[in-house]
Amino acid sequence: MSSIKDIQNDIVEEFALLADDREATLFYLMELGDKMAPLPEEYKKDENLIKGCQSKVWLHAEMRDGKVYYQADSNTDITRGLISLLVRVLSGHTPDEILDADLDFIQRIGMHQLIGSQRSNGLNAMIKQMKLYALGFKTKEASKENG
């Protein structure tokens, strides 16, 4: 499994190929969303909705062998593409790696300019929720070890 840093570098390279073509970039995001593993229906429930997103975004996380795995979906294609990028970067890493991750790829691919401030806030809410899950799992593990 590549490091969070390496995955981010890969994404930056892929987006560089789109060379600031907004239409192509949005289509690409939508494609990424289409390709993301579907979220099982059972996880598409209201308590999995991320607060602070204009669109509906469902996020499910689980811990296996010390690593956090995320699954997600959205009711809009572009947002599904956005969360698929975050899942790709963060899923399969340890809580510490996730908590320490500096997600600079977002800024490097100019995502804020592409999606505007409202969706950027939504993107930040997604990141926060993903990190909160990591923190939750970490706390749970620690209390298991101590208890």
Partner 1 sequence: MPATLHTGPATLDVTALRSRFPVLQREVNGYPLTYLDNAATTQKPQQVIDALSHYYSHYNANIHRGVHTLAQEATEAFEATRQAVQELINAPEKEEIIFTKGTSESINLVAATFGRTFVGKGQNIIISGMEHHSNIVPWQMLCEETGAELRVLPVQDNGELDLADYERLLDENTALVAICMASNTLGTVNPVKEMTATAHKQGARVLLDAAQALPHSLVDVQELDCDFLAASAHKMYGPTGVGILYGKREVLEAMPPYQGGGEMISEVTFAKTTYNDIPFKFEAGTPNIADVIAFREAIAFVKELGLENIARHEAALLKQATEGLQANEGVTLVGTAAHKVGVLSFNIDGLHPFDTGMMLDALGIAVRTGHHCTMPLVARYGIEGTVRASFAVYNTSEEVDRLIQAVSRIAQRKRK
Interacting residues toward partner 1 by CB under 8 A: 22-23, 25-27, 30, 54-55, 75-79, 115
Q: Is 53 a catalytic residue?
A: yes
Kindly state the smallest distance separating residue 96's Cβ from partner 1, in Å. Answer: 35
Q: Are 78 and 25 in contact (CB under 8 A)?
A: no
Kindly state the smallest distance separating residue 62's Cβ from partner 1, in Å. Answer: 27
Rg (CA), the chain: 15
Task: Please give the Cα distance from 72 to 38 (Å, whole number).
Answer: 7
Kindly state the smallest distance separating residue 45's Cβ from partner 1, in Å. Answer: 18
Q: Which is nearer to partner 1, 77 or 97 (CB)?
A: 77
Catalytic residue among 29, 50, 53, 103: 53
What residue type is 83 in one-letter code?
I
What Å distances lie between residue 44 and 36, 66, 85, CA to CA? 15, 25, 19
Q: Which residues are catalytic?
A: 53
